[in-house]
A and B are shown apart, each in its own frame.
Chain A
Amino acid sequence: MKTIRIPVAMTLLLFVAACVTINVYFPAEAAQKAADRIIMDVYGEQPGKTDAPLEPQSRIHHNEMSFPVHALLNWFISPAHAEADISVNTPAIQQLQASMAKRHKQLAPYYKSGAVGMTRDGEVTLRDQKLVPLQERNTIKSLISKEDDDRGALYREIARANGHPEWEPEIRAIFAKRWISNAPAGWWYMNTQGAWVQK
């Protein structure tokens, strides 16, 4: 009797544990890597500083391999170790990324001057409009508004593309940190206390 009961209990335990945790685990590390790839592209920096984007062909390979492995991991070992990949390869994300990369060339001088700073929630804001000549103020406001719209949409689309719209705040939080980490020295950002700091 005893020899039977233990494996049954363990299986049940494993099953319950697996079921409970499958959908709540947010792949922070993968999200950070994905964020870095997008941010480096937007900043227009040479890949290589962080991980280079994967080739499409190798992505298939990757997906083909990871799918069954991932499923197995979810079911048979503690899902805490089963880190999903973060997909950022959808038309919407690519389009948003391209639009931000294009806009970045216009925004960069304002980051450098300190007129525009990076906020705690993964957006940008007009930190000190006195650093912007009067005739450029509306241009920069328009740029900031569009950039923040794109960023909001980007976080939403990444969460959506990975089948977890509820991940948006986590994705935004990771991006918020990575925009700052990947930024060159001299740019301004808001620290966790809400104060402006020059990197």
Chain B
Amino acid sequence: MMLPWRRVRVALLLAPGLLVMTALPGFAVDLVKLRLGTIAGAGWSAQAVTLQLNLLDDRHAALLLQAQRVALPDGFGELSAITLSCARAQFTTTAVSCAEGILKTQSTLLGQQHIQLTFRYQLDSGRIDTALRGIHAYDGTLALRARLSDTRWQIDATGTALSLPAVTRQLVATGIALPVVAGSAGLDVTAQLSGVSSQLQEADVAARLLAEEVSDAAGSIAAENLDVSLHATVKAIATGMRVVLDLSGRQGALYIDPVYVEMPPQPLQINARFDWSSAGQQLLLHSFSYRHPGSVLVEGHGLFSPAADVPIRDLQLELRQANFPSLYDTYLRPWLYGSMLADLDTAGELSGAFSWEQGKLGRVSLDPVNLTVNDREGRFGLNAVNGRVRWSDTTVPARSELAWSSGSVFQVALGATDLVIDAGHDYARLAQPVAIPVLDGVLQVADFQLQPGADAAWRWQFDGLLEPVSLSQLSLALGWPELAGKLSGVIPDVRYDNGDLEVGGVLLVRAFEGEVTLRNLKLQQPFGLVPRLQVDARADNIDLETLTRTFSFGRIEGRLDGRIDGLQLESWRPVAFDAVFATPEDDNSRHRISQKAVDNISSIGGGGVGGALSRSFLRFFKDFPYDRLGIRCRLERGICDMGGVAAAPEGYYLVKGRLLPPRLDVIGYADRVNWDTLIAQIMAVTARQEVRVE
């Protein structure tokens, strides 16, 4: 907006004095022609300036001012072939004026110009009034009115349908750090500027941007069908400038990498009022607000030193209101890709405050209201989280209270829980023990402590006690076959460090009338891409009849002991273990195995004995007594190294019969079996409901 003004001023400053001279009475001159050569002022210079006056009568003259070249201040380019003509300039004792002038020039910036011009020069006061219309600028038009008296000046500018890409190119050329955009976007601007000599005193700028489609070269700033209005006022104050900004977005979409905002039905508004101190290079933010109806309202004030290493000196941000899922989907999620929180379904509300003091985040408070967070991959979730989270960077811990109505971890339901937490600079701990309902049981947690570990990852630990959880619910939740029994345990030391969870103590499963104990439980990256679990398990005195009934395997009576050492699950599937299950040595319970179970065992072994059995005379027996049974499998790299309860000629006994008839042995011969195939066979067997031999 300064550009045309400067151009005008070149002409205006030259003209009056000369005109006055030629108009002095007593000189009977018709034509005055002056070669002024080069003239210059602060930041500009004009070469080969000539002035020609053709007197029409004693009050009027035709005026022609020409210059070969005018260099303008940096960023405004150059003018060449300048011709300012006024067919009938009026000369009175007090003023020189031109009602219909024409300014023609070639601008390096704006191209060929043919501008309609009026001016009036007040001889006594030195005041100049001028107006320029039809300036072709940035694919649109620009009109200017300027008033200059003594050292005071005032400019009104109106730009219509200016092209935003052209404007940004121009502003960047003048050294303003802005992205250059391409595309189609029109800008209407009105501006009133006033000042004294080179100092801007006041500015009032209103602009409306209608961007059909614009984007910078990298595509990191882009807009579609955007309708944005800006109103800014700037006022000089003793220390610098006071600025008031109001921006409102009515429609369309804006992308500022990585955030994509669709303008809501009610306008999105940004307001700011700040003082810029040029001496101290400081920005005092009196007030700031960002209002995205239906999503977020943030207000704040603070003090910044943009050039300093830590630009934020003090800042108070009040999160007046935040609505989910909009806040998460629009403003949070783009920053969370690659993390555990990248894919959430959210609902509820949040408010809070953040406070930076002396360049450091000093206090945080967050108050969730019915906040619901559910992982879209079903790994975890919390419903109706309410409470107050407080953190402060002081030695005195801040107390937080949080409660949720329900939740889940890997589909295992968690019940309503209340937490009281004390948190300080880099730690958080439970202020009182907490009981988290897990299915129909309870996980008691005490002495929970959270701290940053090495390489800034978090680690936490607690002492736990698991009150009995029914296996049937747990197995259903995890998508396993339904199991009967109870899971409980004293887990005195649960540690989590950088994605790895270690459980000390022993978990006890009471199932199938026996006991299974789990020790050395370790979970690596439970929520990661490849979760890994390690555990050692031991089974004592399992009742085979209950077990075989559960899995519709075919009835077996007797007891079973076993162990699984070094069980490793990868993505929740076993990849390694060393397992042995067998009839206890001292077991004196009744040992019977049904036709169906024999069939199933043999078909898993791949021996095909089953068919043979039902074809032989043995089909007349419903079940058989046995001495011992058992199976051993050492799994490694997808291969199960198989064994049985005892060695048999060329194989191993899976079932060793009693000496007395009807004696039946099941002997396995395959000593290396593909695990996937084995599982497929077991699944086929347990899924088969019909009984082949009655």
Cβ contacts under 8 Å, B432 to chain A = none
Stretch from B146-154, B334-342, B549-557 at the A interface: B334-342
| Other-chain residue from A60, A95, A128, A153 in contact with B674 (beta carbon distance below 8 A) | A60
| A149→B257 CA distance, assembly (Å) | 21
Q: A141 near B529 (CB under 8 angstroms)?
A: no
| Other-chain residue from A90, A92, A157 in contact with B638 (beta carbon distance below 8 A) | A90
Q: A57 near B677 (CB under 8 angstroms)?
A: yes
Stretch from A132-140, A174-182, A187-195 at the B interface: A132-140
Q: A137 near B677 (CB under 8 angstroms)?
A: no
| A63→B570 CA distance, assembly (Å) | 21
Q: Mark B519-545, 1 if CB is under 8 A from A, else 0.
A: 000000000011000000000000000
Q: How many residues of A contact B (CB 8 A)?
A: 31
Q: A56 near B676 (CB under 8 angstroms)?
A: yes
Interface SS of chain B: helix, strand, loop or mixed? mixed
Identify which of residues 258-280 in chain B touch chain A, using a CB-to-CB cut-off of 8 Å: 258, 260, 262
Q: Mark A123-147, 1 if CB is under 8 A from B, else 0.
A: 0000011101011011001100110
Q: Smallest CB–CB gap between A53 and chain B, Å?
A: 12
Q: Which one of B333, B571, B672, B677 has the highest number of Cβ atoms from chain A below 10 Å of its Cβ?
A: B571
| A150→B674 CA distance, assembly (Å) | 27
Whether A21 is near chain B, meaning CB under 8 Å from some CB there, is no
Stretch from B36-44, B136-144, B219-227 at the A interface: B219-227
Given A138-B334, A142-B342, CB of A95 within 8 Å of CB of B530: yes
Q: Smallest CB–CB gap between B226 and chain A, Å?
A: 10
Q: Smallest CB–CB gap between A48 and chain B, Å?
A: 23
Q: Mark A35-56, 1 if CB is under 8 A from B, else 0.
A: 0000000000000000000001
Cβ contacts under 8 Å, A134 to chain B = 222-224, 253, 255, 260
Whether A91 is near chain B, meaning CB under 8 Å from some CB there, is yes
Given A95-B571, A145-B342, CB of A153 within 8 Å of CB of B677: no
Identify which of residues 644-680 in chain B touch chain A, using a CB-to-CB cut-off of 8 Å: 672-674, 676-677
Q: A87 near B674 (CB under 8 angstroms)?
A: no
| Residue of A whose beta carbon sits closest to that of B333 | A138
Q: A96 near B530 (CB under 8 angstroms)?
A: yes
| A62→B215 CA distance, assembly (Å) | 57
Q: Smallest CB–CB gap between B225 and chain A, Å?
A: 10
Whether B364 is near chain A, meaning CB under 8 Å from some CB there, is no
Q: B529 near A91 (CB under 8 angstroms)?
A: no
Q: List 30 A-B contacts (CB under 8 A).
A: A56-B676, A57-B677, A60-B672, A60-B677, A63-B637, A64-B672, A87-B637, A87-B638, A90-B570, A91-B572, A92-B530, A92-B570, A92-B571, A95-B530, A96-B529, A129-B220, A129-B257, A134-B224, A134-B255, A134-B260, A135-B260, A135-B262, A137-B258, A138-B258, A138-B260, A141-B258, A142-B337, A145-B337, A146-B342, A149-B529
Q: Which 6 A-B pairs have the closest CB atoms?
A: A91-B573, A130-B219, A145-B337, A129-B219, A92-B530, A91-B571
Binding site for B on A (CB under 8 A): 56-57, 59-60, 63-64, 87, 89-92, 94-96, 128-130, 132, 134-135, 137-138, 141-142, 145-146, 149-150, 153, 157, 161
Besides A138-B260, A142-B342, A146-B337, 11 more A-B contacts (Cβ < 8 Å) are A60-B674, A87-B638, A95-B530, A129-B257, A132-B219, A134-B224, A135-B253, A135-B262, A137-B255, A141-B337, A150-B529
